[in-house]
Structure 1
Amino acid sequence: MRRTTAFCVLLASICTGLVFGTVLNFDFSHTTPLRISVSGAPGAPLSVQAAGSAFPNAGEVRILTRGTGRLIAERGQLRYRAQAFIYQKGYKPIDRNSEIVFSGSARKKELKDLAPAVLGMREGSRVALLKRTDSAVRLEIVIVDILPTVLRGPWIRPPAGTNLPEITPGKDGIPVSVSGPQQGPYSALTVYQAVKGSGVQVKPHDTVTANYLLVNSAGKVLENTWKKSAPAKFKISQALEGLREAVTDQRCGSRIAVGIPAAEAQGKNDLTVVIDILGTESETGRQTGDGKE
């Protein structure tokens, strides 16, 4: 009888703990999944909304948009814009914490916490990295837009019968060759847009981030920056005369083919350049992701 009574008391204690969450120190507080909504064009300033109370215990990566561009590999080319926001449980407004616009080489050691959100992804992806802060009710949400190093879009070919270069794209849309003029040397600077961009216009004193293929009049490739570990950067004011004139006032996100006469190429031969205008940096140091500000 005593054993039965003791067992009943123990069972009652356990049940009390299960109901009130006190004796066994259980936490039965209601949580809802964290939902994130992001608005804004890739590379542009974003607005973020979040709701929910279930925070990850460690860094969590969520793919919000899966890109189809070039794969980001260790030591390969990389461009991204990362914008960090602070979310606090119970509060809808989100405070912008910081942002980074990066163009260079993808290195895990330098990417640090961002590495899982970048390496192995494809250009055009939008990724959310969720990071716990030192507060139990605050969460850092980092939105990473992986920007293109190869521009894509509706392909515009040069009109037939004109003295314009012809681009041959290869894997991932990277130009592998470009023909010179079909009707003799360039008599004047020749420019046409193969892909039309919609970003900000390049100004005469900007620093441009770009990839390009440079070919001489014999069709020999002199330089191909797509094969390098990072996109090129150059000041418009210090570029070849013909290239400076061709790129100024173009919009970021454009791919242009430029035929430069020898007189404007600082040499004895014509040059043909295919250039993807990826982003700009003004004299004040302000950078654009893909120019959509």
Structure 2
Amino acid sequence: MGRLEGKNCIITGAAGGIGLETTILFAREGGNVLMCDISGPALEKALAKVKELVPDAKVETKITDVSKESDIAATVAYLDSWGGVDVMFNNAGIMHADDADAVDTPEKIWDLTQAINVKGVWFGSKHAVLSMRKHNKNKGSVINTASVVALVGSATPQLAYTASKGAVLAMTRELAMVHAREGFRFNALCPAPLNTPLLQDWLGDDAAKRHRREVHFPTGRFGEAIEQAQAVLFLASDESSFVNGTDFVVDGGMTRCYTTPEGPPTQPPKNLAR
């Protein structure tokens, strides 16, 4: 028996990065997975990779725009035919290249970011709960992708993204309290910057921007999507049955490390107050 044997799972933003790696793990652990993303071609390419790695995977795809409640409702309704939602991974999100500071972030970029990163999580959580209730589930797991920038300031300006992830964190905590007696757990995954296409596209060829990110890692490297997926698998499984309302930080120690512009010190600065 796999750790998710027989569980019906929805993963948004499943065509790449954390979403794709999580799909592969869920499939290996016996989950029935509905991969959702806004791009049909990207989904088909991702599904082919899943099938290659897990030939007997019980996985389907559905094009979903998480910023539209009608899309989320239709996606969850499709999973209802499988027996209802057991695991909802609200992972879809964007970090737009034009996202900047309070002065330079265009309003349309702010609105787009909130629509996908915040409303998408709200819609996903709402319809997951409705499905769990409809099918008389006495337990269920909802995992929402937040970020370490919901806990600490970003090294580079990305105000819309940072604000959206702070909202995800706050929303997840409240949902965890509201639905705990129903057996529905809500946890927020807080990744550090990862070696994913989303971040690499945003960093581009800007060496200074890249350096401002990398120096904050005690490990000296970005995290990998698979390292986040393994945390999501734990939160989705019954192994985490008493884990609820957490800011589940998977960052290689980034948020616990004192740093300088040159990177984490190997020895404490001599003038550091004791």
Q: Identify the TM-score tier after normalising by the shorter chain.
A: under 0.3
Higher strand share: 1
Could you say which structure has the higher helix fraction? 2
Computing the radius of gyration over CA atoms, which structure comes out larger, 1 or 2?
1
Scaled by the length of structure 1, the TM-score of the pair is: 0.27
